[in-house]
């Protein structure tokens, strides 16, 4: 078996989400592939997916010399067959490819990975245990089996926050010494300068108001966007709420009904914004709102701070880890507290500027360099522990 110090070191990665998912887990998967392949050009990253679809954000990564994609020839290529390959048969290919360490990027490992090569699994959260109403009973049981088992059989576990690490220890009895907390860095697109012309362009394109609070994230009960809807009614009429995220669901309809009942149709706006334009939209906002009751990390908080926009977030999970002193925190049911925090950040320029400055200092811990070094250190620990 090759070691991490050899130039031919091969890291296998689960690429299903990187190819098929354009939000949370897909973003994380692409981030890992991007940052690690750029930071370690002599290391080869071999991606594994049961389907061969691609997208505009993974294609540039696949063009790199040290990144390649393996897609099996499955007959028939139906859903159950693909799932069986990914969870059971994939390790046969890992052995054939002489993969030194395998990284499950989205909570799970193949059931038969043990004994094939050392493995690392990233566990993002245990949300189905903290917000069971958002999941069916069968999904909760399936996640407990797949993700809990993956955490137990993995050589090393990466938790994306201290909150997730604590949940893994409490709920699944994972040895804390086996878990490395590695904060996800932000996509480099959020670190680029945003000039006035770009902000005006997106303001015009998406018909953004002059003053607004921005809420980015899928609209669902756990995300608790209703807090911001109720809170916006307590703010001056020139401050509006812009929600960016899929909302074609029961909770989204509840919010729309509430907006109509309270006469806020001109003040609560829904927008669809592609990833490339998100940084400029953050930069246009007076404040960002992230009112989730529970998160494994809360990446939109960090994205907003990187764009120079302070955040009002909620207590109760890990958002204080994400926002540090660059955010103000309120209880997820405290409508008045939310409104006061937003108004204070909008009107007190001295406090606002200080919060923005502290936020920019805080997000230095989420740098790509820190992420790459910590992740490679986890790979090397997995390799050494596998040999013991």
Residue where the block lists tokens 């690392």: 120
Report yes or no: 54 and 19 within 8 Å, Cβ to Cβ.
yes
> pLDDT band at 62, cuts 50/70/90?
very high
pLDDT value of residue 6: 43
According to CATH, the topology of domain 10-185+367-387 is Rossmann fold (3.40.50)
Could you tell me the pLDDT band of residue 2, with boundaries at 50, 70 and 90? Answer: very low
Rg, Å, the chain Cα set: 22
Whether the CB-CB separation of 143 and 171 falls below 8 Å is answered with no
Considering only 78-87, 124-133, 180-189, 262-271, which range has the smallest mean pLDDT? 78-87
Q: What is the pLDDT of residues 146-188, one digit of tens each?
A: 999 999 999 999 999 999 999 999 999 999 999 999 998 888 8
Q: How confident is the model at residue 203 (pLDDT cuts 50, 70, 90)?
A: very high
How far does the chain reach from its first CA to its final CA, in angstroms?
A: 14
Q: Which has the closest alpha carbon to 322: 297, 296, 305?
A: 297
The answer to whether 212 and 236 have CB atoms below 8 angstroms apart is no
pLDDT, the chain, mean? 93
**Does residue 77 surpass a pLDDT of 80?**
no
Is the model's pLDDT at 4 over the cut of 60? no
* Cα–Cα distance measured from residue 1 to residue 170, given in angstroms and rounded to the nearest whole number: 35
Query: Looking at the chain, how many residues does it have?
Result: 388
Q: What pLDDT is stored for residue 303 in this prediction? A: 96
pLDDT tier at 319, thresholds 50, 70, 90: very high
CA of residue 304 relative to chain centroid, distance: 13
Please tell me which residue, 335 or 135, carries the higher pLDDT value.
335
Q: Where are the alpha helices (DSSP H) in 41-136?
A: 59-62, 79-84, 90-96, 127-130
Q: For the residues 320-344, what does the mean pLDDT come to? A: 97
Q: At 61, is the pLDDT very low, low, confident or very high (cuts 50, 70, 90)?
A: very high
CATH number of 188-365: 3.40.50.2000
Residue 352: which H helix or E strand, with range?
helix 349-362
Write down the pTM of the prediction.
0.89
Identical fold, 10-185+367-387 and 188-365: yes
Q: What is the mean pLDDT of residues 23-51?
A: 94
Quick one: pLDDT band at residue 263, thresholds 50, 70, 90? very high
- Contact (CB, 8 A) for 310 and 356: yes
The answer on pLDDT for 5 being more than 50 is no
Q: What is the pLDDT of residue 75?
A: 57
Instruction: Give me the residue spans of the domains in the chain.
Output: 10-185+367-387, 188-365
Cα distances (angstroms) measured from residue 12 to each of 33, 172, 371: 10, 26, 18
Is the pLDDT confidence value at 375 over 70?
A: yes
């Amino acid at each position: 078996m090759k070691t991490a110090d050899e130039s031919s070191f091969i890291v296998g990665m689960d690429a299903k989400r990187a190819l098929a998912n354009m939000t949370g887990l897909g973003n994380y998967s692409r981030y890992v592939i991007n940052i690690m392949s750029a930071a370690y050009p002599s290391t080869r990253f071999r991606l594994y997916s049961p389907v061969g679809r691609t997208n505009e954000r993974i294609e540039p990564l696949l063009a790199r010399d040290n990144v390649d994609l393996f897609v099996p020839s499955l007959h028939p290529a139906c859903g159950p067959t693909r799932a069986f390959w990914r969870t059971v048969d994939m390790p046969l290919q890992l052995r054939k490819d002489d993969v030194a360490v395998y990284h499950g990027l989205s909570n799970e490992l193949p059931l038969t990975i043990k004994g094939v090569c050392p493995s690392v699994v990233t566990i993002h959260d245990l949300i189905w245990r903290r917000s069971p109403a958002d999941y069916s009973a069968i999904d909760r049981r399936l996640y407990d089996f797949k993700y809990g088992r993956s955490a137990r059989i993995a050589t090393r576990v990466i938790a994306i926050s201290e909150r997730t690490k604590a949940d893994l220890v409490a709920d699944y009895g994972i040895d804390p010494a086996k878990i490395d907390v590695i904060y996800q860095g932000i996509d480099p697109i959020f670190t680029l300068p945003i000039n006035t012309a770009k902000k005006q362009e997106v303001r015009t394109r998406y018909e953004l108001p002059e003053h607004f609070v921005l809420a980015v994230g899928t609209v669902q009960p756990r995300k608790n966007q209703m807090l911001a809807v109720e809170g916006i009614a307590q703010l001056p009429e020139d401050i509006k709420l812009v929600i960016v995220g899929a909302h074609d669901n029961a909770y989204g309809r509840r919010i729309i009904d509430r907006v109509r009942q309270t006469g806020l149709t001109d003040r609560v706006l829904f927008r669809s914004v592609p990833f490339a334009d998100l940084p400029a939209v953050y930069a246009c906002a007076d404040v960002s709102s992230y009112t989730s009751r529970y998160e494994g990390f809360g990446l939109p908080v960090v994205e907003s701070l990187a764009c120079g926009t302070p955040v009002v977030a909620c207590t109760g999970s890990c958002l204080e880890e994400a926002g540090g002193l660059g955010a103000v925190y309120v209880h997820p049911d405290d409508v008045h507290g939310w409104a006061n925090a937003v108004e204070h950040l909008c009107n007190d320029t001295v406090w606002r500027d200080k919060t923005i400055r502290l936020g920019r200092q805080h997000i230095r811990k989420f740098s790509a360099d820190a992420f790459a070094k910590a992740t490679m250190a986890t790979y090397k620990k997995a390799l050494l522990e596998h040999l013991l």
